Amino acid sequence: MRLDDEKESSYVEDRRFESGGGGRSSGGGGGLSFGTIMTLLPIARMLSKSKIGWIVMIIGGVLYFKGFNPLSLVGMGGASKPATTHTVSQKEEKEATFIKKVLKTTEDVWTNLLGKYGYTYKKPTLVIYRGATHSGCGKAESQMGPFYCPNDKKVYLDLEFFDELAKRHDAPGDFAQAYVLAHEVGHHVQHLLGTLRKVHKLQQQAMNRGDKVKANHLQIPVELQADCYAGIWAHYTRNRLEPGDIEEALNAASQIGDDTLQRKAQGRVMPDSFTHGTSAQRKEWFYKGFKSGDINSCNPFRG
Residue 86: predicted pLDDT: 63
Checking if the pLDDT of 21 tops 70, the result is no
Checking if the pLDDT of 71 tops 60, the result is no
Cβ-contact 273, 214 below 8 angstroms: no
pTM of the model: 0.78
Residue 22: predicted pLDDT: 44
Question: What is the per-residue pLDDT across 258-269, written as a single tens digit (0 to 9) for each?
Answer: 999 999 999 999
Which segment of 48-57, 110-119, 122-131, 210-219 scores lowest on mean pLDDT? 48-57
Residue 282: predicted pLDDT: 97
Question: What is the per-residue pLDDT across 144-189, written as a single tens digit (0 to 9) for each?
Answer: 999 999 999 999 999 999 999 999 999 999 999 999 999 999 999 9
Question: What is the per-residue pLDDT across 186-213, written as a single tens digit (0 to 9) for each?
Answer: 999 999 999 999 999 999 999 999 999 9
Q: Indicate if the alpha-carbon torsion angle 138, 151, 192, 122 is positive or negative.
A: negative
